[in-house]
Amino acid sequence: LDAEWERDPIVALNRCLVPDVMSKAEWHDLVMQVMQEVSAARHAAQAQPVPDVATVARHVWARPEEPQQVGGLVGEGVHLPTGNSVPHAPEPRRINMIEAIRRTLAVELETNPRCLVFGEDVGVKGGVHAATLGLQTQFGNGRVFDTSLNEEGIIGRAVGMAMAGLVPVPEIQFRKYADPATEQLNNCGTLRWRTNNHFAAPIVVRIPGGYRKIGDPWHSVTSEIAFAHQPGWLLAFPSNAEDAVGLLRTALRGNDPVIFFEH
């Protein structure tokens, strides 16, 4: 136990600062000041009234009449144009879900300059499932870009971007790959609730769902249901290309974090 105390960060900080930066008396005064601040904060917290259980679920999701103070387009006072801006081909043809998603991302990137698409291989390669094929060429590597192999970092980056007023669209290549980002996903979903609607991070996480019938333990996991139990998240799981367009656009123009499953 004594050895652990020797490695305590405050003890180490004391050795670093005293006497080269401050005297023992100054250190003591600083410690007393911090202890008083912590004690005052504790008493203030204990003096708060008992929460009303009827309001426990308030601010789990966005409420139009109560916008957050920081985060997302709403926090920046930005409003996207309404209406259907999808160009209709003169001779429409059948397309699959991946092409529908690609087209929708292109329209939203063009409509919303704050929209960013990123993840592993989404840039030059166009995604391992080709959902972002050609988007980097069209919109530049500042708005469609590759990341390192780090799902926790991908989601954490997206949360920070959303809090800064951007609309990040991170891609996770396979459902199983999202597991290392579990803590970041949990923090994102509960951010609005934890901060009493002060902060929010409305990101749109794209993940293949039920993607293939055969494969290995890392690419065949289909435990999408786990996200249905994550507070603060909205889930979209379209079954066809038409629904994918509407659901993805709604997610990208909404004010809640969304996990969008595509296949």
Average of per-residue pLDDT across 200-213: 87
Which amino acid belongs to residue 209?
A: G
Average of per-residue pLDDT across 151-175: 97
Q: Is residue 9 part of a domain?
A: yes
The verdict on 118 and 7 lying in the same domain is: no
Structure-block tokens of residue 52: 């009303």
Query: Residue 134's pLDDT is what?
Result: 98
The verdict on 254 and 214 lying in the same domain is: yes
Domain enclosing residue 102, as ranges: 72-262
CA gap 61, 73 in Å, rounded: 15
Q: Is residue 82 part of a domain?
A: yes
CATH number at 136 reads 3.40.50.970
Closest CA to 191 of 56, 60, 52: 60
Q: Is residue 20 part of a domain?
A: yes
219 as an active site residue: the answer is yes
For residue 81, pLDDT over 90 is answered with no
Q: Is residue 257 part of a domain?
A: yes
Question: What pLDDT digit, counting tens, does each position of 107-147 carry?
Answer: 999 999 999 999 999 999 999 999 999 999 999 999 999 99
The bridge status of strand 234-236 relative to strand 204-208 is unpaired
79, 198, 219, 263: which is the annotated catalytic residue?
Answer: 219
Q: Is residue 62 part of a domain?
A: no
Q: Give pTM, 2 decimals.
A: 0.85
The verdict on 173 and 88 lying in the same domain is: yes
Average pLDDT, the chain: 93
Question: What pLDDT digit, counting tens, does each position of 217-234 carry?
Answer: 878 888 899 999 999 999
**Residues 6+ positions from 96 with CB-CB distance below 8 Å:** 241
Tally of structural domains, the chain? 2
Question: What pLDDT digit, counting tens, does each position of 231-242 carry?
Answer: 999 999 999 999
Question: What pLDDT digit, counting tens, does each position of 64-79 carry?
Answer: 999 999 999 999 999 8
